[in-house]
A and B are shown apart, each in its own frame.
Chain A
Amino acid sequence: MTHVLDPDAPAAAIPPRREPLAPYRDVTRSDAAFRAFLHGLPGVDQVGAESRVAVLGTRSIKTTAKAWAIDTAISMVDLTTLEGADTPGKVRSLAAKARRPDPGDPTTPPVAAVCVYGDLAGVAKEALTCTDISVAAVATAFPSGRASRAVKLADVRDAVANGADEIDMVIDRGAFLAGRYLDVYDEIVAVKEACARPGKDPAHLKVILETGELVTLDNVRRASWLAMLAGGDFIKTSTGKVSPAATLPVCLVMLEAVRDFRAATGRQVGVKPAGGIRTTKDAIKHLVLVNEVAGPDWLTPDWFRLGASSLLNDLLLQRQKLRTGHYSGPDHVSVD
């Protein structure tokens, strides 16, 4: 691959490939071995996966359980704006909302993170000082991922330097669909290294699989394992720019993957469905899925996030309804 980011730089020596965790150390020793490993994962029967989420979708979450679920969901939101028209003003207003989602009710928990493009990470960071709210930045030529690796890594370093605590990278779907799994793996490893922060823990790495482009649930399972083996801290469904974004069957398969991965390696990886989750009902269905598939260990903002923008207002409306017994209306929550 050629690139002109720094045409005078000498060609870097290729470092030895970083091995995955035991017991999977040797699966990346060659393209063939990695392919055999990923294709050897148990298949996913789409009909069965859909019927499982349909049954879990009938869970009836009421009263105290609903109150708990709504507050938990709010605390898991990565409040997101990813538009060409984003400005510092827009990001600051989003940050204010993240701190105090419902100005009328100080018991409302803050959200988990604000998610922006890398160039606005500094603005978000400043607006969120003295809070536990993280700044997440999308990087690696988001959303398509169509750029040279050098550009992608520069994008990541930029975002980290601007103050991002979390990096939401996209995988190279082209390479994945062409079967060049090691390329995808190496890129995630390189991005993870680019997340380093001097004197601090590295920025958290969320790996966006863009499942709407991978299409099959078999691919989702393979990409999930690939991202976890490469060191991703979170696996995330989508950029939000491709339809379908987060769906329940996809989330089911990813939750099964993190569950099985922890059982095998001892390392826990988080899950973030993003895009298309707009209602409290959707959010609660996701929480039920987490609870019954991966288990309660994942039911915290450290291990499960909801990438969304309009969802937060619906959660707030439902929260108000639960407290007061009646629905208010869209003017009782702030516009973003």
Chain B
Amino acid sequence: MTQLFEYAPAPESRSIVDIAPSYGLFVDGEFVDGSGTPFTTVNPATEEVLSEVASATDADVDRAVRAARRAFTRVWGPMRPADRGKYLFRIARLLQERAREFAVLESLDNGKPIRESRDVDVPLAAAHFFYHAGWADKLDWAGLGPGPKPLGVAGQVIPWNFPLLMLAWKVAPALATGNTVVLKPAETTPLTALLFAEVCRQADLPPGVVNIVTGAGDTGRAVVAHEDVDKVAFTGSTEVGRSIARAVAGTRKKLTLELGGKAANIVFDDAPIDQAVEGIVRGVFFNQGHVCCAGSRLLVQENVHDEVIASLQRRIGTLRLGDPLDKNTDIGAINSAEQLARIRELSDVGEAEGASRWQPACELPDRGWWFPPTVFTDVSPAHRIARDEVFGPVLSVLTFRTPDEAVAKANNTTYGLSAGIWTEKGSRILAIADRLRAGVVWANTFNEFDPTSPFGGYKQSGYGREGGRHGLAAYLQEADK
């Protein structure tokens, strides 16, 4: 037996999902037609059109906001908190029951590997609902003052990288605190949000508590700008975040923004090297690098640079790129042609600026949008690939000599969402973490998420926290001082 261990294709069946040829908006508990020109959503791994989706105009958004307001004043706001909790528990259980359906649909619409949608996105989304369901009747003990009050109607705009998970991060705390929502999913990945709408109906959630309006940038702008929205929550690019901050400025609306990142993953010479290499891979190639907190800047101590890079390259050589529905796929498709163009452009700039590009021998499928895992060495802090968010499977490697230099380089970014520290020395973890200006600091791990842990950024990575006790504050009125 001389042949190699070739893994036979192991595709997850897509027969479990039933994609309708077209979808409407979910307003006031009903699917309704949108007034805008419908758009298509595409499987990024094959460029196959999955479905046609309605586009919400200002008038449609207005209808959704009015439905949300009605639901807030008549049903959801006055409801006993324990009963709100029951609905959330019910939604969480339904997400678990229909987990395979959600995972397959997410991988089809987004291009991410089924292993990640099955083992990360969907279980975490359910966990967020379970966690917040528990808070619903315990808000008095959240340390936010006695009898904290909801804000009203929350307008939420979410990105395409974790469509269902970002929905859960937004919807679960809003509902648990007594608000109603109008949510706009990203135009390239609306399908799991629309399946979630079905789950809301299955859970008998009162009409209007959750409204889902699909569309492009204009729909998002309409949600943010609507004068009867009390709270705006956005996850996405810093550029759009800035325009939202401008639009909301001077109004009574509360705002949380979770924006871009350029996280430093710091590897000291006393790190557990094999696990650090895993952490680097997980940090930047998880979800094709479409992660706002991706560890896209590797800061490695110069005296172990060669060893770590050799190890990393060998490890990257074992990553399996291809069909997102294959259970053995590690790297899926890039979500859209636009994103692929941006990744290509920034990578070309990296090379033009003098960094060395390395990519494993890796066959890309003929159709669909793909980019191989990429490592840039010889990167200087002045290069654009060390400063700009690529939002793709591209790692920039920089070196440092001392802990002070590591901290200085890690903090030398306009972002501040996350960071990683790799060392076997516990005291060093605590000392360095204290000095990093990043919302989340992982020690000897990376991209680990939990609903109990607050998440959010410094500087241009945004403001406000999601998750944990801190995340509740973003959806409650401030206590009288």
Contact = CB atoms under 8 A, between A and B. Distances in A.
A52 B115 contact: no
A182 interface: no
Contacts of B119: 58
A42 B271 contact: yes
A49 interface: yes
Contacts of B9: 62
B6 A58 contact: no
B361 interface: no
B382 interface: no
Contacts of B8: 61-66
A68 B5 CA distance: 7
B5 A296 contact: yes
A321 interface: no
A68 B1 contact: yes
Contact of B274 (A42, A63, A292): A42
Nearest to B273: A42
B7 A65 contact: yes
Contacts of B273: 42
B457 interface: no
Interface in A282-316: 287-288, 291-292, 296, 299-300
B3 interface: yes
A60 interface: yes
B318 interface: yes
B5 A65 contact: yes
B9 to A, nearest CB: 8
B274 A256 contact: yes
B274 A44 contact: yes
Most chain A beta carbons < 10 A, residue from B3, B8, B279: B8
Nearest to B326: A60
A333 to B, nearest CB: 22
Interface residues of A, number: 33
Interface stretch (A11-19, A69-77, A208-216): A69-77
A47 interface: yes
Contacts of A287: 5
Contacts of B52: none
B1 A47 contact: no
**Majority secondary structure of chain A interface residues (helix, strand, loop or mixed):** helix
B327 A48 contact: no
Interface in B266-308: 270-275, 278-279
A45 B328 contact: no
B431 interface: no
A42 to B, nearest CB: 4
Nearest to B272: A45
Contacts of B1: 68, 71-72, 75, 109, 300
A52 B5 contact: no
Contacts, number: 75
Contacts of A68: 1, 3, 5-6
A59 interface: yes
B328 A60 contact: yes
Nearest to A252: B274
B424 interface: yes
Most chain A beta carbons < 10 A, residue from B4, B271, B272, B424: B272
B87 to A, nearest CB: 33
Contacts of A60: 7, 10, 327-328
Contact of A69 (B5, B271, B328, B424): B5
A62 B274 contact: no
A39 to B, nearest CB: 11
B360 to A, nearest CB: 14
Contacts of B424: 43, 45
A52 B119 CA distance: 14
A327 to B, nearest CB: 21
A58 B279 contact: no
B444 interface: yes
Interface string B402-445: 00000000000000000000001000000000000000000011
Contacts of B10: 60-62
B422 to A, nearest CB: 9
Contacts of A288: 5
Most chain B beta carbons < 10 A, residue from A51, A69, A72, A288: A51
B172 to A, nearest CB: 26
A66 B6 CA distance: 10
B5 A291 contact: yes
A10 to B, nearest CB: 49
A51 B6 CA distance: 23
Interface of B: 1, 3-10, 115, 119, 270-275, 278-279, 318, 327-328, 424, 444-445
User: Considering the complex of A and B, which 3 residue pairs feature the smallest CB-CB distances, nearest first?
Assistant: A48-B275, A60-B10, A60-B327
Given A58-B119, A59-B328, 4 more contacts: A42-B274, A60-B327, A69-B5, A291-B5
23 contacts: A42-B274, A43-B424, A44-B275, A45-B272, A45-B444, A47-B444, A48-B274, A49-B274, A49-B275, A55-B115, A58-B115, A59-B328, A60-B7, A60-B328, A62-B9, A64-B8, A65-B5, A65-B6, A72-B1, A72-B5, A291-B5, A296-B4, A296-B5
Interface of A: 42-45, 47-49, 51-52, 55, 58-66, 68-69, 71-72, 75, 109, 256, 287-288, 291-292, 296, 299-300
